[in-house]
Structure 1
C-alpha cells in the first residue's frame, strides 16, 4: 500500500512536471491585445479608404485658385511648397483642349451647323430690330452731315428714304448671313472659344466634369470604404500574427494606395466589354454612355457652346477683325443702294467728299449697332442649329475608346499624385493607431 501511494505520488509529480496546468490568465495570453483592438482595424481601414478617396476628389477640383504661398511652385502644377490648387483648375486649358478636340473633330462641324440657318428667315426675325436701328441711324447721320437740308425735306420724302433703307436692309442681312455661313471658320474658332471660356471661368469645366461623372464620383467615395474594409481584414490578420509597430503604417499606406488605385481603374477599365463567365465586365463610366451623352450635351450647350457665346466670340473674339471686314463690305454696298435716292440732294448740300464720309458713317453705325440687336435671333438660331441634339446623338454613336476621352482627362492628369496622397494619409492613420489604440 505504501508502495502504491508512493507510485501515485511519483505519477502525480511527473504529470505536474511534464504537463503543468495553465492558469486562466496564461490561457488568454495568446491575445496580446483586447479583441476589440483587433476588431476595429478593418473599420478604421474602411474609414481611411473613404476619407482618402473623398479628399482625393476634393483635391482634384478644389480650391479653384491656388491656396497658400506660391513658393517654389511651377504654374502648371497643382502643388507648391506651401499650398495647393485643384488639379482640374490648374490644368484647365490642357484638359479643355483634350475635351474640345473631341467636340470639334468628332461631334460638331461648325460650317455644317451654321448652314442650317435660313438667311431669309434670319432677316425676318431680325426685321423689327433692324427697322428701329435704321430709323435712328439715318436720322442721326443725316442731321450730322446735312443739318438743315435734311430737316427741311418734306416728311414724306424722309420717311420714303427710311422705308427704302429698311427694305434694302432685309436683302443686306440675308446676303450677309449667306456669306457668313460660307466663311464661318474665318470668323469663329469654336474650340478656341470653348477653351477660353473655361480658362477664364474654371468652374465651368469643374461643373462639366462633376455632372458627367456624378455617379462615378459617388462610386469612388463609397468604394473607398468597401475596399478599405476588405484590405483592413488582411491588415488585421497580419497584425494578429506579426504585431510589429511598423505593420499598421505600412498596411495603411497600402490600403490608401489601393483603394484610390482600384477605384480609378474600375471606372474606365476595361474600355471594351469583356465577357467573363456570362457577366459583361466594362468600366462603369463607359456603361453610362447614353446617360452621360445627354448630360454632356445639356451642360455644354447651356454653359459654353450656346448662341450668345458664339455671337459674342464673333463680335469680340480673336477673329472679329475678319467678321467686321466682311460686315463692312456688305454694309457699304447696302449704304450705296440706300443713299442712291438721297445722293443728288446730299452732294448738292455738302459736296462729294462729305457725301462719301456720310456713307462711311452710316456703315460704321450699322456695324456698331448690329451686335446690340442680334439677340432677337437667339431663339430662332438655337432651334435651327440644334446643337444640343447633334451633340447628344453623335456622342451616343462614339466608340468606347473615343467616349472615354470625355471624362478621363480629369482623372488622368496627376492621377498618381492623388493615389500617393491617399497612401500617405493611410500611413499617417496607421501611425495614429499605434499610439492611440495599441499604445506601442
Structure 2
C-alpha cells in the first residue's frame, strides 16, 4: 500500500501542477466578461487590461521598434530618392510618348529619338532639383502627421479577444506549453518528496 502511495503521489501532484498552470494560462484570456461571485470579480487578464496593453504596446513599438522619424529617414534617404526619381522619369517619358501623342497627334511628328533624348536630359536635370526638396517636405509631413503609437494602439484595441488570443498563442505557444510542463515537473518532484516523507515517517 505504501509503495502504491509512493507511485501515485508524484503522478497526482504532476497532474495537479500541470492543471494549475494550464488554468493559469487560460485565465490570461478567459473569462472574456467579468463574472461576479459575491464580492469577487473574475475576468481574464488580457480582456480586463486590453486598453492598457494596447497603450503599453504602442509606446514600446514607437520607442524601441519604429517611429515617425524612422519612416521619415527612409523617405529622405538617397537610395529612396534615386528610386523615386527613376519612377517619376519613367512615368513622364511614358506620358510624353503615349498620352501626349494621343491627345495631340501632331506632337508625334517631332518626337524622334533626338528630341526624346533632349526631353530626357531636361527631365533629369529638373528632377535632380525637385525630387530631394519634394521628399524632404514629404518626410517632414510624415514625421508631423504619422503617429505610430496611435495607429498601433487603435489596431490592438480594435482586435476582438478571439483575434488577440489567436495572435498571442501563435507567438507564444511554445512558452505556454513550457509553463504547463514546468508545473507538471515541479508537481512530480513535490510528489516524490511527499512520498519519501510518508515512507520515512512511517518507518520511524
Q: Deviations over 1:82-137 (max 9, x none)?
A: xxxx9759976652332221232466553266347654443223444333222223
More helix by percentage: 2
Structure 2: gaps (5+ residues): 36-43, 199-204
When the two structures are aligned, how many residues end up with a matched partner? 183
Separation in 2, partners of 1:148, 1:117: 38
User: TM-score, normalization: structure 2?
Assistant: 0.60
Out of 125, 146, 151, which is 2:108 matched to? 151
Quote the residue 2:126 is aligned against.
Answer: 168
- Report matched runs for 1:16-27 at 5 Å: none
8 Å Cα contact 1:134-1:166 kept in structure 2? no
2:100 matches 1:142: yes
Match of 1:194 among 145, 152, 175: 152
CA RMSD across the alignment: 4.4
| Contact in 1 for aligned 2:72/2:143 (Cα 8 Å) | no
- Structure-2 residue corresponding to 1:183: 141
Q: Which residue number in structure 1 is paired with residue 83 of structure 2? A: 125
How many angstroms does 1:44 deviate by? 0.8
Gaps of 5+ in 1: 1-33, 63-72, 81-85, 240-440
2:10 to 42, 50, 67: 42
Bigger relative contact order (CA 8 A; separation at least 6)? 2
Determine the C-alpha separation between the residues in 1 that align with 2:96 and 2:167: 43
Contact preservation (8 Å) 2:57, 2:153: no
1:1-20 correspondence to structure 2 within 5 Å: none
Instruction: For residue 224 of structure 1, report the CA deviation from its aligned partner.
Output: 0.8
User: Is it true that 1:111 corresponds to 2:79 in the alignment?
Assistant: no
- Deviating beyond 6 angstroms after TM superposition, the runs of 4 or more aligned structure 1 residues are 89-93, 233-237
Closer, same or farther in 2 for the Cα pair 1:139/1:104, shift >3 Å?
Answer: same
Asked whether the 8 Å contact 2:85–2:131 carries over to 1, the reply is: no
Structure 2 match to 1:224: 183
* Distance change (3 Å), C-alpha of 1:197 and 1:162: farther
1:136–1:101 distance in 2 versus 1, CA, 3 Å:
same
1:369-408, Cα deviation, whole Å (9 max, x unpaired): xxxxxxxxxxxxxxxxxxxxxxxxxxxxxxxxxxxxxxxx
Q: 1:207, 1:94 → 2: CA distance?
A: 21
Check 1:88–1:173 CA distance in 2 against 1; reply closer, same or farther (3 A cut): farther
